[in-house]
Amino acid sequence: MNKDRLTTLSFFLSPMIVMVLLFYLVPLVMTVYISFTQMRNWNVSKYLTEFVGFYNYHRLFYMFQHDPTFKAVLLTTVVFVAITLVINVFGGLTLALATFFIDERPASAFRLLWLLPRMSPIAVYSLVWYYFFHGSEIGTLNSILMKLGVISQPIPWGQIVPWGAWSIIIFVNGLVGVSFGMIVFTSALNQIPKELVIAARVDGASSWQISRRILIPMVKWHFMYVLTWQFLSLLTTYPHLFLLVQWDLVNGDYGTTLALYVFNTAFGMGEQDQGLAAAAAVLLSIIGIIGGFVTLKVLQFEKMMKRPRGDF
């Protein structure tokens, strides 16, 4: 590699490398470091050099065995990720298939509408559902059910544990995630040669048969892509949940996943315990990194990375 080439490369790549170093690698090392200290309430000058070894990890393990709150958080994480993942993947696939079979104009309109949860500000989107599930008579769900005569008094849905709180967080995050699957599946469906679909139509196949026998088998790779990617992002998402819990719409224990638990332990109200939060974050990262590598292997991303053809 000659000097000229090196100058060119560093011109193009150094800003990105600096960003990755400053905001990914250095913080990661710092998080691991904090997990071995007794850091509390961000009292950096006092606790930064106070090593406690694996104390925080021991505490996590002890809480896993005995603390009902922490057990609730872990259970919520498992239920939340599992159910929301299924809703996201199959909801996205259903929407993509459904809009595939209608005219372009209404199809784009619907796709755009389903992008709304992802594009709108997190605070506004949460605000919409805050009003919808509100525990008083201004809550839309309560007033619908009261008008239908199903219930006589407003019910604070999010405070019913565990399934009331779980339903709300799954619903709110489920709608955000659906759009990812929808976009990926739509672009995959549009790459399928039209002749296949038209030939099947001429042979008298119904839309359902075409979906089942032609379209779905041909988007298998994308299915795995959405499944693994969405799994990782659900495991680590917390901004919407943060607001729902903060505004007291859902129960604090059964509305908190592990990612939100880390954030609230490190930055929340009252007693903050960064050492413990960092230890939990490290465990979460290990799951995330393993998941990331499994994803890459399953999807065979490396094969897609072709060499630039014309560089000399």
Partner 1 sequence: MRDVETRPRRYSRIIILAILLASLPLIIGFTLLVLSSFSTDMVTNLNPSSFHPTIENWINVFHGKLATTGGIRANILRITLNTLIVALGVAGVVTGISALAGYSLSRINFRGRKHMMVLLLILHAFPGVALIVGVYLLYRLTFPQTSDFVRLYSFVYVIFARAALEIPMSVWLMKGFFDTIPWEFEWSGIIDGASRIKVWRKIMLPLIKPGILAVALFAFLAGWQDIIYVRTFLIDQTLATFIEANIEAEFSHMPLIAAAGTLYLLPTIIFFITAQQILLQGYSGGIKG
Which parts of 77-116 interact with partner 1 (CB under 8 A)? Answer: 95, 98-104, 106, 108, 110-116
Distance in Å, CB of 2 to partner 1, minimum: 12
Query: Rounded to whole angstroms, how far apart are CA atoms 143 and 207?
Result: 39
Nearest to 180 by CA among 145, 252, 231, 235: 231
Separation of CA 249 from chain center:
20
Asked if 140 interacts with partner 1 (CB under 8 A), we say: yes
Per-residue contact flags (x/-) with partner 1 for residues 13 to 52, judged by CB under 8 A: x-xx--xx-xxx-xxxxxx--x-------x-x--------
CB-CB contact of 38 with 58 (8 Å): no
Least separation in angstroms between CB 210 and partner 1: 8
Q: Under rule CB under 8 A, which residues in 270-309 are in contact with partner 1?
A: 274, 277-278, 281-282, 284-285, 288-289, 291-293, 295-296, 299, 301-302, 304-305, 307-309
Closer CB to partner 1, residue 65 or residue 104?
104
Which listed residue (2, 3, 49, 147) binds partner 1 by CB under 8 A? 147
Question: Near partner 1 by CB under 8 A, which window of 65-73, 78-86, 133-141, 156-164?
Answer: 133-141
Q: How many CB atoms lie within 10 A of CB 243?
A: 18
**Residues for the chain: how many in total?**
312
- Binding flags for partner 1, 183-202, as an x/- string (CB under 8 A): xx-xxx-----x--xx--xx
Closest CA to 255 of 35, 57, 75, 40: 75
Q: Does 232 bind partner 1 (CB under 8 A)?
A: yes
Going by C-alpha positions, the residue among 58, 148, 123 that lies closest to residue 131 is 123
DSSP conformational letter for 159: G
